[in-house]
Structure formats: structure tokens, C-alpha cells
Structure 1
């Protein structure tokens, strides 16, 4: 245990939310806000696999980022603590902001309360703010006919909101005012005791409400949320997980490709093949990077569109792509589609794509290190 963390407790915060809810953008904006106030901020990302786009995205923004791969924070509690220690080797952070896996829930009982109970001298735990993803939130909360996911996957989505101290309806910049008010009403009707507010982390709308929620005191709880870990495990296992590296190159220094067009084409074409198979996208993102520049494209639902969320506006002769896909389909199908898209784009874009390290699987049953009851 790092001796540097035995003085003033470090404030520890988590920003949760379903896959594609905008957690990375939100955490980046929060970190920048506190750095501007002179705070020393460290970030921790979390994923079921390695080669995480979110980690590279935040590091490219200049933040000190640790990563806990291989399972949720709840199942990697000791790894979370050792990662925090490693982030504190040079100087103890004033604030640690953690981004849990988007398919994870029961964070209060398995992460926040154990940190408070077992390591209260080291950490001051803050409230749990959960981002509500509009594209799936409206379908699930309105009990529509086509909800996107099965009831078991929806169980995770709703449990994330149930355990939140505050719920931020994110990405309102993509919604009309009527749509915002409808989703706000649906959320408050389902969770009347919660602090619910509207947010666009990308555009800064509602950011003051987010900071207020982050700096408020956690809800006083008389007990932990009830969880059916069998349903939870089956809901997670319905999602195919894929992380892979792809090398893109023209083979000639004087021949270049648009990095923005490449990452956008990857997301668009993978999304199109998934739609043909009837698979529901939870989150699909591709990061393209050279030594100096990055581009990111993503898609957060099957009826959504591929978006270039971070343009690079450069042409390159070579780049590395990171593909992260979370989709309600078999992982083998995901791997086949990524390979297929690489082949078709190689022909149409005159760029050679070489698939490198790839992980495709279904998450295993969550087995928390600690669970306070």
C-alpha cells in the first residue's frame, strides 16, 4: 500500500452509465474543470478487455490515466487499489475520477461502500452520478414494443439508475426540447426520489448541475440495493465484446489517406453489417491514431448513425486503429464482421488493413471481491 496515501483522504468519485452514455467525454470535462482550479486529478478507466479506446482518448488529452482491464471494478477491487497507488507514485492526487465498465452495476455495495468501510482513512468517497443514455433510455423507460435489448440486459440498465445518487440525462444536444422534457418526465416518474437533470457533456449544457451533483453529499442509505446476480450475469453475457488493433497503411510515404474517413468508414460499415444481422449495438467506437494526431468515430445504437466525435483533419500514410465493440450478438459474429469490413475497405479505399491483437468474448459472471449488505 502506497504510504503517500496515508495522509489527507483522497476524494474518490465514479461516473457510471450504460455503454455509450458518454462517460469518457464527461470525465474528461470534469477533469479539465478541476485541473483549471489547480487540483491534481487522476483518472481510472475499466474494461472487460485490453486495448481500450477510452484510456487512449483521455491520455491524449494530457490526463494521468490508469486502467483496470479484465473485469469490472467490483471483481478487480484489489487491482483498482493498486492502480490508484501507481497513479500516486509521483504526487498524491486531490481527486480520483473512475469510469466503470458500462455493463456494470451494484457499484455502491461492491466498490464505494468497501472503500469507505475498509479504507476510509485513505479515501473520501463521493456520490455516484450515473449518465442516462437517451437512445436506449427512452425505449426502456417508456416500455415501448422495440426496446433494443432483452429484459435481462435492461435489468442492468435500470439497476444502474436505481443505485445512482444523481441521474444526468446526457447528450441532450442531440434531442429536441420536447424529447428532453419527455425523457426527463419518464425518468422522474420511475425514480421520483432521485436528483435528475439534463446534460450535454460535449457542449457544456448543464455542466454546473453536474459539478453540483458531484460535490454534493451521497444519499444516506439504510441498506444496499437488491441484486439478482444470476439475471445480472445473463444480461452481461448477452453482449458480445470485441477489442482489437488494426494497422492501416498505404505502403508508400507519398500516398496518404484521410484518417477521419477511415475511422468513420470502419464504424459505418461495421454498423451496417450488424444491422443486417439484427444485432443491437450498445457501443461501437474506433480510434485512429498517429504519433501526433487522433480521430474517433462511434455509434451508440443500431438505429443511430456513425458519428465523427473527434476529427483529426489529417492525411496519413500509416495509422493504428483501436476497435471497441459492445453488441448484443455472438462475439464470433463480431470478429467475422470486423475482418470482413477490413477486407472490403482495403479494396475500396486502397489502404492495407492488418488485423493485430483481437479479443472477442462474452463477459463472465460477476464475482465481487467485497459486497456490503
Structure 2
């Protein structure tokens, strides 16, 4: 089955074709970063208009890459949420219109499920069960994954997500949008010994996150440097380094606890922040000490993309799920733990989950 995947949840238009027998056939992506940079963040109306302009040409582009015509597509998967409702509607309406015209099935996919399954596109995908850290601009979550649709929320951010905190700190430091990569680049020249920021919510049990206090601490530090007339280029680098170190350590500590609590030895890290080099270094070091393994999507699949939607859609479509053509879904807020497992869905080929394994009871971890 050849599935066309469409991603239009925010500021990137992603399109891909996934074949259940031959894997990923083609993918392409248009980023709106340059357009939104002048405004310091995503402008929803501009995002929707740009998706409308770009989507059909990108569909033609991936069809050319795969040497296919529209009539060779067996089904279409699109991002139904969460995201910006106008942007979601562009993808949903295009998918349903094409499905009706071609007489094929169509299905709306959860954006974060796409991120969670993105490492399945790699040559060595993780086996179920595993713990997933979903860390992006709008989400920071730890999830136990026992199969497609079998998700148990272990912890999440009670305020700002890690990606949001990066973007807000970038504005404090007068950095351009998007903030995350700019802060990381600035941090490369920072002195790791000059400042140490708090690791929020690591001095108590549990797997929830909070980055609001860290953001406030960063702002207070910047203002103190300004008060002393010491906020020079090196100070800005040192502040960025201290902030990035604090976020990476906090995420790593919570991941360690999640693996200890579940007794699992596989960790998937996905979402835009998963591309952060310092975070990957921390997680790789920690996993070796725990005897665990970390799985990441390739760089271009860390951010929003059509390939992850095509793959997730292929799994659910193969199990018989589909939308009623014309009944479009665009859900701005959509808790992932409300997703159901596809009926009769097995683990991906070669990735069978252990038979009869019961999830271990949660146990409180020691303080980080």
C-alpha cells in the first residue's frame, strides 16, 4: 500500500510517500522560518496561506521523485491535530478532496504519534515496548509505548514545554526566530563553569516537567548582568550555555527515572528539540551507564515532516482505520493518550513486543 503523507500543523509543509512493502519512497519539506522570522514567531494566518500555496506543488514534487502519478496512490494520511486550526484545515481539505477525486481511503493522524513513530523509518528501529521522550516547541512528554496506539502518559510539562522555553530565552537574548537552534549556537562559545542554573523539579519524585521557573531564572540573570553593565557577548554565551545545560540535564534525569520506573531499556527521543546536540550527548552518556539504548530519527525527521505522517498513517490504514470522505478532522488540542490501538494491529515487521509482558508497577525513583 502506497500512502501519501501530508503535514501542515504549523510552519512547515511536509509531503512524503511511504510504501508498506518498500519503505519511504520520497519526501520533501518547505519551511516557513524565513517568512515568520520578521515577526519573531509563527503568524497563524500567514502559515495557513503559505500551506495553501505550497501543498499541491510539493505533492507533485514527491510524485515525480517516486516516479508515480496520483492514480498510483492507494491512500492519504494527513495531520489532523494538534496544531494551528487554519493550517490543519489546509492539509485536511486537500487530503479529503484528493481522496474523493481518486476514490481512495483517507485518514487523519495525530501529529505527536507521527513524531513518536519517526524512528521507525530508520534502518534499526526500536522494538516495542519503549519509553518515548517527545520534546518539541509545544510538547514535553514522557510516554510508555507498548505498541501503536498503546500509550501510557508517564509525565508532561505543567507549564512551558522545553521548546517554548528555548524560544522565550532566545528573545531575552535578542536572538532571531527560531530560538532553539540560535540558543544552541550561542551556547557553543559559553563557559560551562561560569554559571549554573537550577534543574527544575528534579529534587522531588515524579516525571513531570516545569520550565517556567528556569525561564524566570534566566531572565533574572540577564537583568542582573545588565544592572552591572556586564551583559557583553561572552556573558550572553555563558547564559545560553547555562540554560541549555539545565534543560538537557533535566530531560536526561527524567528519562533515567522513566527507564528505572518502567524497567525498560529502550528510549526513543523525538520532536524538534531531539536534534539538540547537548541533549543527545547527555542521553547517550546516561544510557550507557544504565545499559539502555537511545533511538533518534534522522536529522530532517526531528522537525515536522510528511514522512512520519505517511508511516503512522500506513500502520493505521493497514489495520482498517479511515475517515469518512468529506468528514475532515482538524483538532487544535488532542491528548495523545486518548488514541486507541488499531484493531488487530501487530508490531511492525521484525519488531515484535515480548508476549505476555505486563507493565511493571510504577516505583518512585530516587532524587536526581
**Taking structure 2 as the reference length, what is the TM-score of the superposition?**
0.28
